[in-house]
Amino acid sequence: MVPKTACQSADGDGMDAKYYKVLFEGRILPGNDEDSVKERLKTLFHADDVRISRLFSGKSYALRKNIPEKEARKYEKAIRQAGGQCRITVMDDSLELESMEEEQTKSGAPENSLFADIKSRISTPSSKPFFLIRRIGRCQYINLCWLVTIIEAAAMLLPQYLHENLPILTGTTLTIQQTMAMTLGFHALAILISIYAMIARLHDMNRSGTQWLFVVIPIINLMFMLWLTFGKGSQGYNSYGNQPATPGLFAKLPGLYIPVGVLLGVAAGVYLYQNELLSLIQQLPAELSKRIPEGVRDYPLQDKLF
């Protein structure tokens, strides 16, 4: 007998049931591979390989029994985040609840909304640092880099501008302490945004957020930043959440089209003016030597004479 769903039981049959069971039959959500889902469920339920293999045997396996609907929904959500699909039925199989996807389709509530994701992360205990930080893709990461650049430019230009023009506009001047505090505030904001962007980008690659500390190591930090900019994120669900949504045109403009346009423009300029650039590079040592004071320039010679 096919179990009735909640919408089929309009006559109230089974609606007074208080306890349910969560059934898993080895089904996975589109866009996920079975091996990855097995690993996530293994971590989720702290199960061994034997039990995980039993879950994917094709038979219906009760993950939890005699639990209220609210608790059953929590298990369903966790299983969906791991890439699997399950069913929730009453203990006597007379009623099957609609899946979360079907309910959200009817209500119009997005499954992967920001509020729902943050609420889920807060309610889910985790030993991973920065677990609350969502994943961002390459385009969003470049946008945040532009934002950091703008903030740093403001830190250098705005205090000096106010120091010179504020007396003209208002008749008051900024003290050295106020100017310093404003500059440090801009720098602190830029650093916080940079750290957030690096952690979120690492999460998109299914890497620990603590790896952002590589940015403090000279030379390695350059390769690290290039890796964050051009590295490909993991497909589908990973340890830090669902795959970021595809950015829209407004996000792609500064995050993709402008950087690509700048790179193409620089490459074209180098190709068209390669002779001029080569001549400038050859003249650069002589130009630099002219800027060295004569006393410093002659110091090795004097040292040899005496």
Q: pLDDT by residue (tens digit) across 104-129? A: 545 444 444 545 555 555 555 555 66
Least confident of 7-16, 39-48, 248-257: 7-16
pLDDT at 275 over 60: yes
From 49-53, 124-128, 218-222, 255-259, the region with the lowest mean pLDDT:
124-128
Domain 4-111 fold? Ribosomal Protein L30; Chain: A, (3.30.1390)
Please determine, for residue 8, whether its predicted confidence score (pLDDT) is greater than 50: no
Burial class for 92, CB neighbours closer than 10 Å (0-12, 13-18, 19+): exposed
| pTM (predicted TM-score) | 0.52
* pLDDT value of position 191: 94
Whole-Å CA distances, 244 to 114, 223, 240: 11, 24, 11
The confidence score (pLDDT) of residue 301 equals 46
Q: Looking at residues 117-144, what average pLDDT do you find?
A: 71
For 60-84, the pLDDT digits (tens) are 888 888 898 888 888 888 888 888 8
What residue ranges of the chain are covered by domains with CATH 3.30.1390.10? 4-111
Name the percent of the chain lying above pLDDT 90: 13
pLDDT surpassing 90 at residue 9? no
- Specify the pLDDT at position 99: 76
In this predicted structure, what is the pLDDT of residue 224? 92
Residue 174 has pLDDT above 80, yes or no: no
Helices 220-230 & 138-170 angle (0-180, nearest 10): 110
- The answer to whether 40 and 82 have CB atoms below 8 angstroms apart is yes
Q: Is 150's pLDDT higher than 50?
A: yes
Percentage above 70 pLDDT, the chain: 76
Who has greater pLDDT, 90 or 237? 90
> Rounded mean pLDDT of 280-284?
80
Confidence class for position 202, pLDDT limits 50, 70, 90:
very high
pLDDT of 4 reads 46
- Work out the average pLDDT over 188-202: 93
In the block, residue with structure tokens 């110091």: 299
Q: How far apart are CA 147 and CA 49, in angstroms?
A: 46
Q: Please tell me the distance from the alpha carbon of residue 189 to that of residue 170, in angstroms, as a whole number.
A: 27
